[in-house]
Amino acid sequence: MLMVANWKMNMSRETIVSYLDALSREGRWARWCAHGYRLVLSPPLVYLDFLMHELQARELPFWVVAQNMCAHEKGAYTGEVSADMLRDLGLSGVILGHSERRRLFGETDAHVAAKTALALTRDLVPIVCFGETEEDRSAKNHAKVWERQIAPVWKEVQKARASGSETPVYFAYEPVWAIGTGRTAALDDIREVAWTLRESFGHDCASGLLYGGSVNDESLSMLVEKGTVYGFLVGGAFLDPEVVLRSFDRLLLHP
């Protein structure tokens, strides 16, 4: 089970240090990892290297993933960061197609698919976000939106599999109406997502389903269902390390 902390555009070197100090008080991380409960931290790009070093120094077994990367391999793309650079830092993966990137920075389904393909060639685990808006849901178009967003990505995953890639791919269902609003999806909604992915793209696609959108240590326990949810992508709540610790305590009550 993956618990991804998406810090978005928050934190500083100072707050990262106190965050890790707080998490280091807990001595069971290695044991939890051995049981498949993994904390994944996703800091802003400028702090990736710093975070990697701090984790190493404290021997904390967390994965680190970027919040985005460029769809191009290298060259004249001012302000962008490449898959090779993320590899060079020793990162585990990258979040792709977050709704904030789609909505605020014009990322299309085709961009997200191209980035996924590139990530897989570099053995970076893609965590691909998808999800409908409130309007899509009221118009009962939500399942169509999921399929439209995932189809081009899944095609690239199939191609990568055919060329021998075994890098896992996770899909994070993040309904736009649930992000940062305090409203989480219901477990039934997530079951519908899992069912749709299985029906449209097969078991392999649905098996790495994560949920994100106003998750915290309390809502988490209502949404854990083995076989449906493989983990969570958490924004605001996981800026507080105490919430991370409480969430792991709760998760472990649902083995």
Note whether 42 binds ligand PGA by CB under 6 A: no
Say how many CA atoms lie within 13 Å of 81 toward its Cβ.
17
3-state secondary structure of 238: helix
- Contacting residue, 93, 208, 213, 231, with ligand PGA by CB under 6 A: 213
- Contacting residue, 198, 236, 245, 250, with ligand PGA by CB under 6 A: 236
Residues 157-196: x where in contact with ligand PGA by CB under 6 A, - otherwise, as a string: -----------------x----xx----------------
Q: How far is CA 11 from CA 19, 48, 89, 103, 236, in A?
A: 9, 12, 19, 23, 11
Q: How far is the CB of 129 from ligand PGA (least distance, A)?
A: 7
Report DSSP state, residue 51: H
Please say which residue, 231 or 235, places its beta carbon nearer to ligand PGA: 235
Q: How far is the CB of 167 from ligand PGA (least distance, A)?
A: 21
Say how many CA atoms lie within 13 Å of 127 toward its Cβ.
32
Note whether 217 binds ligand PGA by CB under 6 A: no
Query: What is the length of the chain?
Result: 255
- Contacting residue, 212, 220, 247, 251, with ligand PGA by CB under 6 A: 212
Q: How far is the CB of 177 from ligand PGA (least distance, A)?
A: 10
3-state secondary structure of 95: strand
CB burial of residue 90 (10 Å; 0-12, 13-18, 19+): exposed
Catalytic residue list contains 174: yes
Note whether 235 binds ligand PGA by CB under 6 A: yes
Please say which residue, 149 or 160, places its beta carbon nearer to ligand PGA: 149
42 forms beta bridges with: 6
- Contacting residue, 214, 223, 243, 251, with ligand PGA by CB under 6 A: 214
Nearest-angstrom CA–CA distance, 216 and 5: 11
Nearest-angstrom CA–CA distance, 33 and 226: 17
Binding site for ligand PGA (CB under 6 A): 6, 174, 179-180, 212-215, 233-237
